[in-house]
Homo-oligomer: A and B are copies of this chain.
């Protein structure tokens, strides 16, 4: 019995003797960090650049404010490099071949975002540890929120696509000292949770030369706005109200409600504009948003329509004894003839007979009726043209 216990004990002691223990790890840390100067990059031969392997996982797009150009995302950088000062012989430490060291105790690539919206910020935080294996391979997973400047182009709002890029420098090291390369030419989206407003159509990770010969590392996103909300909530309602304004000319002139109709619909347009103006970006660079021009055209064409309504009412209310200008008479006759040609194509013989009579019977009321019709069609055509032009510009 005793022997078994002794054996078990011995076995345990032996296992511990050859196992990686707390003491081993403590000795390892002491040995690695003693004399370690974290201000100096790894690489014994200073003439050979240090290779760093990078990939970027996007977590989420938090915000993109078109007015200020502030683009906020959260993601994680995975950087791997080899620091020979942090290599050891596992045999010395009972086969302990990995450890993790707080990031502030060892050298880190000074990977700094150079188009920040506010102050510059390094990667990671004091909470993060770097995984190190016995060969000196360091793996740094740096979770970070980035606020960068992104110059938006609001011309096609809300059908806009945007390109936003995070730009990084490795401060203090030019390309002869550090050679960072991206593992993938795209941002890795496996951990991405979709943004409600923006869709990522494409992304890029690359490096480019820039600014006093330094290398710039770019993580870029091509974004496309999801337009459902904007079509349904902004464009459809105000367009339908704007179109409605032209129908004032179909209102019977006798109803005495034409002006009320026109002004109230104009007011509705103005009220609806208050919602949209609050959402439209103020920026006019490179262009003002086309939608802004459309909205203005709605208000302006609204006021012009109201003026035409007044003119129409003046025509209808003209005293009978006031002579009708010849141009109006010819215009009415012309309209009538066209109508008749459609109506009574086969009784041509008769119509020519009464033609002269009808022409002489043109009253102010007739002029008003045809004036209304023309205004109605013009307003509808103007609306169609505006919409067509808008969508052709936006889709171009």
A311 CA to B228 CA, complexed, in Å: 32
From A57-65, A326-334, A345-353, A377-385, the one touching the partner chain is A57-65
Q: Does A341 contact B (CB under 8 A)?
A: no
- Write out the residue numbers on chain B whose beta carbons fall within 8 Å of the beta carbon of A15: 45
Q: Is the CB of B317 within 8 A of A252?
A: yes
Using A173-B100, A196-B281 as known contacts, say yes or no to A314 and B119 having CB atoms under 8 A apart. no
Q: Is the CB of B317 within 8 A of A254?
A: yes
A195: min CB distance to chain B, Å: 7
Q: Does A137 contact B (CB under 8 A)?
A: no
- Write out the residue numbers on chain B whose beta carbons fall within 8 Å of the beta carbon of A195: 69, 283, 285
Q: Does A101 contact B (CB under 8 A)?
A: yes
- Write out the residue numbers on chain B whose beta carbons fall within 8 Å of the beta carbon of A387: none
Q: Which residue of B lies closest to A60 (CB)?
A: B149
- Write out the residue numbers on chain B whose beta carbons fall within 8 Å of the beta carbon of A282: 196-197, 229-230
A322: min CB distance to chain B, Å: 13
Q: Is the CB of B254 within 8 A of A257?
A: no
Q: Does A261 contact B (CB under 8 A)?
A: yes
In-complex Cβ contact of A267 among B40, B59, B264 (8 A): B264
Task: State the oligomeric state as a number of copies.
Answer: 5
In A209-239, the 8 Å CB interface with B consists of 211, 226-230, 232-233, 236-237
A150: min CB distance to chain B, Å: 9
Using A143-B120, A145-B118 as known contacts, say yes or no to A44 and B62 having CB atoms under 8 A apart. no
Q: Does A24 contact B (CB under 8 A)?
A: yes
Using A116-B145, A145-B117 as known contacts, say yes or no to A299 and B128 having CB atoms under 8 A apart. no
From A2-10, A240-248, A354-362, A388-396, the one touching the partner chain is A240-248
5 contacts across the A-B interface (CB closer than 8 A): A22-B44, A229-B284, A232-B288, A264-B266, A275-B277
Minimum-distance CB pairs A-B, first 10: A196-B283, A100-B172, A129-B172, A263-B264, A226-B284, A257-B259, A252-B317, A228-B284, A20-B46, A122-B127
